[in-house]
């Protein structure tokens, strides 16, 4: 069923927008302008329907019952795994582990791969623009194992430099963990080149794809990354479901993260044999409806086409950048050459929270915070920024209303 009419290279984004029922909500007397997809995206009708249909017609536990209903639930759940495999171009579904989200995926790797492969004095490298969920798990490990956590700094535009990474890595480096796209700045990192550099000293690379998967096509074999993590809720899917991709050979050698049902083959009090991949890493009843909703979100993305989406969001970004630049006293934070649909800014003499509160009264949803990336705020010497982030449903009118609202708020606050 195709809900989006497509000519050869263009998508009707008005029809894409019409698939999101929440955008009919009226906020403070105005139609909602949702510019916080970086925090979580809205959900198209087909994702809502997929989850509802599962609970109405297919609900049963997976991998257990021999009755028809359970078999159908299992088929749907495993079908979702295959859909994710294709989405990432992974070699095998054994490499696709369902988790709660990016945060859990990174913690799984920090726990099960790194703690098994690192000894005191070894090093993990992260960049200065990481989300807290790609900093704190490594810090916990540092404090437990006595490893080094080294930071790759960024420049004033909010970019990292490949030569700086080359200078930083050594035979002590065991892991480079980097965001594919920064949620605070929009910077898209050259992860393929970074993977080469990491591999040149025998280190592994973990990529935080939370912001990338909703905006661009990802090919884990082409990137040659060892681990790739993302969250369903940022790419039009449900909350509470996410994915850890890892190369099969690495997963084979890793210890389980959690113990319980489904991750075992046999259990006695003397000895437990673990289940095969990827089930070894999926203890307990999984988020079945979440995986099914995620599969529907991937269908949505495929139908729009990630290249079309990237072009659409880039046009919005360019327009917003141009319009924002004309506002006196406004400073855009993060001016990388290669940037996704995220724009962060501050206004002289105005606290971002005050600004965003006034904008809410115009029905504009933007985020004013440190965006779970406090080191980025420290780098640019600001307490917080206002961030507008774009999704498939945004249009030029949303940006016009954003700009008008900023100008109004500015008049009231200054």
Q: Which of 23, 60, 162, 372 is catalytic?
A: 372
> Which tokens in the block code for residue 159?
């970019």
Q: Taking contact as CB under 6 A, which single stretch among the options 99-107, 247-255, 258-266, 286-294 is the one that binds ligand PLP? A: 99-107
Query: How many residues sit close enough to ligand PLP to count as binding (CB under 6 A)?
Result: 13
Q: Output the smallest distance, CB 363 to ligand PLP, in A.
A: 24
211 contacts ligand PLP (rule: CB under 6 A) = yes
Among residues 133, 187, 369, 385, which is the contact residue for ligand PLP, using CB under 6 A? 133
- Residues 70/64, Cβ–Cβ less than 8 Å: yes
- Residues 136-195 close enough to bind ligand PLP by CB under 6 A: 179, 183
3-state secondary structure at position 225: coil
Q: Taking contact as CB under 6 A, which single stretch among the options 49-57, 128-136, 149-157, 399-407 is the one that binds ligand PLP? A: 128-136
Q: Where are the alpha helices (DSSP H) in 66-125?
A: 68-88, 102-109, 115-117
Q: Judge whether 372 counts as a catalytic residue.
A: yes
340 contacts ligand PLP (rule: CB under 6 A) = no
Q: What backbone phi and psi angles, to 5 degrees, belong to 27?
A: -110, 120
97 contacts ligand PLP (rule: CB under 6 A) = no
- Residues 364/320, Cβ–Cβ less than 8 Å: no
102 contacts ligand PLP (rule: CB under 6 A) = yes
Strand partners, 345: 332, 386
Long-range contacts of 85-89 (CB under 8 A, 24+ apart): 87/213, 87/218, 87/298, 87/301, 87/302, 88/218, 88/219, 88/220, 88/228, 88/243, 88/245, 89/218, 89/219, 89/220, 89/221, 89/222
Instruction: Kindly tell me which of 296 and 406 has the beta carbon lying closer to ligand PLP.
Output: 296
Alpha-carbon separation of residue 289 from 73, 74, 381 (angstroms): 9, 11, 43
Among residues 19, 37, 42, 103, which is the contact residue for ligand PLP, using CB under 6 A? 103
208 contacts ligand PLP (rule: CB under 6 A) = yes
Q: Taking contact as CB under 6 A, which single stretch among the options 159-167, 206-214, 336-344, 401-409 is the one that binds ligand PLP? A: 206-214
CA distance 87 to 368: 32
210 contacts ligand PLP (rule: CB under 6 A) = yes
- Give the helix/strand (H/E) hosting 242: strand 242-246
Q: Taking contact as CB under 6 A, which single stretch among the options 4-12, 127-135, 332-340, 355-363 is the one that binds ligand PLP? A: 127-135
DSSP3 helix / strand / coil % (the chain, rounded to 5): 45, 20, 35
Query: Are β-strands 30-31 and 96-99 bridged in parallel, bridged antiparallel, or unpaired?
Result: unpaired
Q: Output the smallest distance, CB 212 to ligand PLP, in A.
A: 8
Q: Output the smallest distance, CB 133 to ligand PLP, in A.
A: 4
405 contacts ligand PLP (rule: CB under 6 A) = no
Binding mask 299-338 for ligand PLP (x = CB under 6 A): ----------------------------------------
In this structure, the dihedral spanned by the alpha carbons of residues 45, 211, 36 and 338, taken in order and rounded to 10 degrees, is -120
Closest CA to 57 of 46, 72, 45: 72
Binding mask 217-256 for ligand PLP (x = CB under 6 A): --------------x--x----------------------
Q: Output the smallest distance, CB 407 to ligand PLP, in A.
A: 29
What residue ranges bind ligand PLP (CB under 6 A)?
A: 101-103, 131, 133-134, 179, 183, 208, 210-211, 231, 234
| Residues designated catalytic | 372
């Amino acid at each position: 069923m195709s809900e989006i009419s497509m000519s050869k290279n263009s998508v009707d984004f008005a029809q894409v927008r019409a698939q999101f029922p929440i955008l009919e909500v009226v906020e403070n007397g105005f139609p909602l302008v949702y510019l916080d997809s970086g925090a979580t995206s809205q959900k198209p009708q087909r994702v809502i329907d997929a989850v509802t249909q599962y609970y109405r017609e297919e609900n049963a536990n997976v991998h257990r019952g021999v009755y028809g209903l359970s078999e159908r639930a299992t088929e749907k759940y495993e079908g979702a795994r295959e859909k994710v495999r294709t989405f990432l171009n992974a070699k095998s579904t054994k490499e696709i582990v369902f988790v709660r989200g990016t945060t859990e995926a990174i913690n799984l790797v920090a726990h099960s791969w790194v703690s098994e492969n690192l000894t005191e004095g070894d090093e993990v490298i992260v960049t200065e623009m990481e989300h807290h969920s790609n900093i704190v798990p490594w810090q916990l490990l540092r404090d437990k194992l006595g490893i080094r956590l080294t930071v790759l700094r960024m420049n004033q535009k909010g970019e990292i430099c490949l030569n700086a990474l080359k200078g930083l890595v050594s035979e002590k480096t065991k892991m480079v963990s980097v965001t594919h796209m920064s949620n605070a700045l929009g910077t898209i990192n050259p992860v393929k080149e970074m993977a080469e550099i990491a591999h040149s000293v025998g280190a592994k690379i973990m990529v935080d794809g939370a912001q990338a998967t909703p905006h661009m096509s990802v090919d884990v074999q082409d990137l040659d990354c060892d681990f790739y993590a993302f969250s369903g809720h940022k790419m039009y899917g449900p909350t509470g479901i996410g994915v850890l991709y890892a190369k099969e050979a690495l997963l084979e050698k890793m210890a389980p993260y959690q113990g319980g049902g489904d991750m075992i083959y046999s259990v006695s009090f003397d000895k437990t044999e673990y289940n095969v991949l990827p089930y070894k890493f999926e203890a307990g009843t999984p988020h079945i409806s979440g995986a099914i909703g995620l599969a529907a979100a991937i269908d949505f993305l495929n139908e729009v086409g990630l290249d079309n989406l990237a072009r659409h969001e880039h046009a919005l970004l360019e327009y917003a950048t141009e319009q924002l630049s004309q506002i006196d006293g406004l400073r855009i934070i993060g001016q990388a050459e290669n940037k996704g649909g995220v724009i962060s800014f501050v206004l002289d003499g105005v606290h971002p929270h005050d600004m965003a509160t006034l904008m809410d009264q115009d029905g504009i949803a933007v985020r004013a915070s440190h965006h779970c990336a406090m080191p980025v705020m420290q780098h640019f010497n600001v307490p917080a920024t206002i961030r507008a982030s774009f999704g498939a449903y945004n249009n030029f009118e949303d940006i016009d209303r954003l700009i008008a609202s900023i100008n109004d708020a500015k008049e009231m606050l200054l």
